[in-house]
Amino acid sequence: MKKLAIPFLLGLAAAAALPSHAAAPAAKPTVFDRKAYSIDHKKFVLPNGLTLLVHTDHSVPVVGVNMWYHVGSRNEKRGKTGFAHLFEHFFFNGSENYPHGFREAMDDLGANNRNGTTNTDRTNFFEDVPVSALERTLFLESDRMGFLGNYISKEMLERERGVVSNEKRQGENQPYGRVRMEISAKMYPYSHPYSWSTIGYMEDLQAASLEDIKEWYRTYYGPNNAVISLAGDITPERAYELVSKYFGAIPPGPPLPRTEKWIPQLDRNIRDEMEDHVPQVRIYRSWHVSSWRDDDTQRLNLLAGVLAGSKSARLDKRLVYEKGLATSVSAGVNDAELSGTFTMTATVKQGADPMEVEREMERVLAELLEKGPTEAELKRVKTSDLAGFARSVERLGGMGGRSDVLAESETFGGKPDAYLDRLELFAKSTPADVKLAANRWLRGNHYTMTVRPSAKLAATKSTIDRKQLPALGDAPDVKFPALQRGQLKNGLKVVLLERHTAPIVNVSLAVDAGAASDTAAKAGAASLALDLLDKGTKTRDAFALSDALEN
């Protein structure tokens, strides 16, 4: 990965790091260096419609394999839900030419960071494999794509129905585990594909026939509905050779009509309540907002960072630190392909009035809609999120790695570098841009769900023998960067470890003073001093110090 423009990051941090009494310099237009964030790649489209993306990085002999199918629960219909998620399970059971477990096959190849996931809009499978195992991995992925239908049996269907049912029970039995399903069912029209959960309804899966399942496979898992993204120790020429060899003869599936956008509108504010096995009352407030491709989605992501996620974010500061009404808050955008939702949550502190918490949430949002965010707030959020992206793409594969970013961009944005457009819009958005987007979407009708603790709580039955300690695995072979040592004139010793895989510097200061330095008369002095370090200095109060550290 190419280095990030460090002066740009420092520029974002500068205004927020000023002491609270200092005047901020006049705002300058944000400069976004696309090249700094660019993931070099080559794109190929095979004659059968399969899209291949290749990013070359020879730093380690590993290739991140990311397989995206443009199918999710949005492609289902009432009465036949849960098929997309069910097929995620089928894909791990083997295929016609390899009738063995795929997870076990990946373990035998030394794969890492392997999994599969399904959401409303896509199904993906990913694994990081040694370059020596890449050809076999591509064979296995292609066999799942082209030779799974005839391998699916009634026995497999019955087994996976049971696995999915258990997975659904596990999810719903977690604290707040039923909330998202309830909110989706109430916010979206009955005919909208986001109105049911990705895991689907168990009665639909129980009613599904073997032919129903096979028809779903034939329709949605063809090469013309897929993107394979490879990142790592592979050249574009070799990647194209291997992918053509194993995927090229798979016939395309039928052409698929696709709804590009479907953003519902609530005709009134909706209030709802439910009880669940939860420790505290939690309030959710949601709006329908723009979809993945829309520019406003990035502006709303900025707004969410202004509202929550930092000590000095507005909801955190007001509800958690100043008023003491909540133990935690959050705000975020679910930027799905057809439409998105913007949600604020607050977990109510024991003894606090939930209605007062809700009123404070409304006041904070109203102030933000009226005046908009400040330039310093946006700089904080931009710095934090862009650094998070840089950390994510340090990885080759997995969720958020380079191969995943390219595959998502191609699938949802129609081009591998669509993520750059989103990042640039995010980085260049002004307070006026964010205010306009917020008022466009968050002045509309909203949905509010209050989740209260249920009266009965019980522990689950233990399935392990507590008398038997789990076995320890083999110690890993870890290689660390070489230590470089120096000493300043004031005696401060400096140790430097260089690793240039990401444009980030991590700094740690260790002081030779701890509890052992305390006297008997002043036990705890070291711990107290440590606790006071982030509570303010002569030039910054606690909130300014928090901003400076985050920037």
Q: In whole angstroms, give the CA distance from residue 181 to residue 168.
A: 11
pLDDT of residue 6: 31
Q: In whole angstroms, give the CA distance from residue 234 to residue 134.
A: 9
Nearest to 436 by CA among 303, 308, 331: 303
- What phi and psi, each to the nearest 5 degrees, are found at residue 252? -70, 155
User: Hey, which residues does 196 pair with through a beta bridge?
Assistant: none
What tokens were used for 317? 């500061």
The answer to whether residues 95 and 151 touch, using CB atoms and an 8 Å cutoff, is yes
Q: Phi/psi class of residue 26: alpha, beta or left (left: φ > 0; alpha: ψ in -120 to 50)?
A: beta
Distances (CA, A) of 549 to 51, 72, 182, 312, 507: 42, 40, 39, 11, 11
What are the DSSP calls for 449-462, one per residue?
Answer: EEEEE-S---PPPP
**Greatest alpha-carbon span in the chain:** 80
Query: Measured on CA atoms in the order 343, 348, 354, 355, is the torsion positive or negative?
Result: negative
Please state, as a whole number, how many other Cβ atoms lie within 10 Å of the Cβ of residue 145.
25
Nearest to 168 by CA among 81, 229, 247, 110: 81
pLDDT of residue 351: 94
Helix (H, G, I), strand (E, B) or coil at 289: strand
Task: Give ∠ CA 386-392-393 in degrees, rounded to 5.
Answer: 95
pLDDT of residue 130: 94
pLDDT tens-place values along the chain, 551 residues long: 333 333 333 333 333 333 333 444 445 667 789 999 999 999 999 999 999 999 999 999 999 999 999 999 999 999 999 999 988 888 888 898 998 888 888 888 888 889 999 999 999 999 999 999 999 999 999 999 999 888 888 888 888 888 888 887 777 778 888 888 899 999 999 999 999 999 988 898 888 888 998 999 999 999 999 999 999 999 999 999 999 999 999 999 999 989 999 999 999 999 999 988 889 999 999 999 999 999 999 999 999 999 999 999 999 999 999 999 999 999 999 999 999 999 999 999 999 999 999 999 999 999 999 999 999 999 999 999 999 999 999 999 999 999 999 999 999 999 999 999 999 999 999 999 999 999 999 999 999 999 998 876 578 888 888 888 888 788 878 788 899 999 999 999 999 999 888 888 989 999 888 888 888 898 999 899 888 888 999 999 999 989 988 88
What are the DSSP calls for 521-532, one per residue?
Answer: GGTTHHHHHHHH
Identity of the amino acid at 54: V
Chain mean position to CA 66: 16
Q: In whole angstroms, give the CA distance from residue 31 to residue 427.
A: 8
Give the helix, strand, coil percentages of the chain, each rounded to 5.
Answer: 40, 15, 40
How many CA within 13 A on the CB side of residue 439?
13
Q: In whole angstroms, give the CA distance from residue 89 to residue 86.
A: 5
- What phi and psi, each to the nearest 5 degrees, are found at residue 9? -65, -40
Element spanning 335, H or E? strand 326-335
Identity of the amino acid at 372: G
Contacts of 121 (CB under 8 A, 6+ apart): 70, 72, 74, 292, 336, 337, 338, 412
The answer to whether residues 100 and 94 touch, using CB atoms and an 8 Å cutoff, is yes
pLDDT of residue 28: 60
Distances (CA, A) of 166 to 161, 169, 172, 177, 199: 9, 5, 10, 14, 11
For the stretch 153-156, contacts whose Cβ atoms lie closer than 8 Å and that sit 24 or more positions apart, written own/partner, are: 153/210, 154/210, 156/90, 156/93
What tokens were used for 120? 């409303």
pLDDT of residue 27: 52
Identity of the amino acid at 311: K
